[in-house]
Every structure is written in C-alpha cells, then in structure tokens.
Structure 1
Amino acid sequence: MRNQKIKSFYNPMVKTKPDKLLSLFEDLAEKMNINIVQGKGDFQGGMCSVNSESYIVLNKLKPIDQRLGVLVKEFSKLNLKNIFIQPVLREYISSNQEELL
C-alpha cells in the first residue's frame, strides 16, 4: 500500500485534470501558431489548413476525453522534439499516442 502512494505521488498524470490538459494543449498550439477552434456539429474533429493557417477543430458536444484524444492524435503527427512542452503534457501525449497506434 505504501509503495502505491509513493508511485502515484511521482506519476504526473495522477493529478492533472482534463481541463488543465486542454489548457496546456491550447498553450502549445499558440506556441506553434496553430488555432484551436471549438464548434458544435456532427464531426469528430481534426487538423486542417485554411489560407496557410493551421487549425485544429474540436467538437464541443463531445466529452473532453474525446477532444483530448483528437489533440493527441494531431499533435502526435507534428515534430515536437525542439519545442518546450510541459512535462505532464509531453507524458500525456506520449502515453496516449501509443494507444492510437
């Protein structure tokens, strides 16, 4: 039991709420000149370019975990090696990217 407490204390994913992760993704998108747009409709979401500007479109009607999944999928396609990303967000992308493969 004691080891579990220590393990969860060091796990950055344990205390990170979905709203905080969404905020970290928004900060990352801003650094990379990507616009995140949330709308309502019958769509899953994804990345697109309009007039040489990049957008990630999220469906507001979907649960936050599905919106985070879209963000993981789209940011996983990009080169993030030379960009500072909060460690908790980098770990979230890395661990969830494996589920998408």
Structure 2
Amino acid sequence: MARMKPEKLFLLFEELAEKMNINIVQGKGDFIGGMCSVNNETYIVINKVKPIAQRLNVLGFEFSKLNLNNIFIPPALRNFIEDLQQDIFNE
C-alpha cells in the first residue's frame, strides 16, 4: 500500500482536531510544539518553519495521548498515530 503524502496527513490531522474541538496553531520561533489548554480551550502548537515530518510527529504524539477509540479516524491517519506510539514505546 502506498504511503499517504505528508500534506494529506496534515489535512487529516486538521480535520481530526476540528472534530475534537482542538485548535491547531502554527507559529514561528525557537520551539518544537505540543499541546496545552488555555481558558478551557485545547491547543496544539506547532512550529511552521520545521519540516513537515517533524510537525506531523508533534501532532501524532499529542493525539496519541488522547482517547481516540470512539472517533472515526481514516485508517492511514490511525496507522500513523499507532506507528508513532509503537516507536515511542520501543525507545
């Protein structure tokens, strides 16, 4: 099976975030990114000047912390998140 293009995965993460009421914020600076909550709003901040692979890893890592069992996630995106979880677990 062919791998999905990074840009398409990014769009799927944006759709998932919208379903879960999570705001994805892209900024510039000396940071990697991560999840935070401000005034009962959840945000995932990513550095838009970093390579897309790194931005996808930040999104995948942060979504892997959440309960995704009852949410439809396209198989390619679910596989990306699960593969990332497995990589982290094996480190």
TM-score, normalised via structure 2 length: 0.94
The 1-side partners of 2:58 and 2:69 are apart by 20
Picking from 73, 81, 89, the partner of 2:61 is 73
Amino acid at match of 2:41: E
Q: Alignment length, in residue pairs? A: 89
Task: Give the SS at the match of 2:79.
Answer: helix
1:49-79 per-residue CA deviation (whole Å, 9 max, x = no partner) reads 0100000000011100000000111000000
The answer to whether residue 34 in structure 2 is matched with residue 46 in structure 1 is: yes
Between structure 1 and structure 2, the one with the greater Rg is: 1
The answer to whether residue 16 in structure 2 is matched with residue 24 in structure 1 is: no
1:31-52 per-residue CA deviation (whole Å, 9 max, x = no partner) reads 0000000000000100000100
Amino acid at match of 1:75: F
Unaligned runs of 5+ in 2: none
Report how far residue 96 of structure 1 moved: 1.7
TM-score, normalised via structure 1 length: 0.85
Unaligned runs of 5+ in 1: 1-10
What is the RMSD computed on CA atoms of the aligned residues?
0.8
Counterpart of 2:88 in structure 1 is 100
The 2-side partners of 1:15 and 1:68 are apart by 14
| 4+ aligned runs moved over 6 Å, structure 1 | none
The answer to whether residue 84 in structure 2 is matched with residue 89 in structure 1 is: no
Counterpart of 1:36 in structure 2 is 24
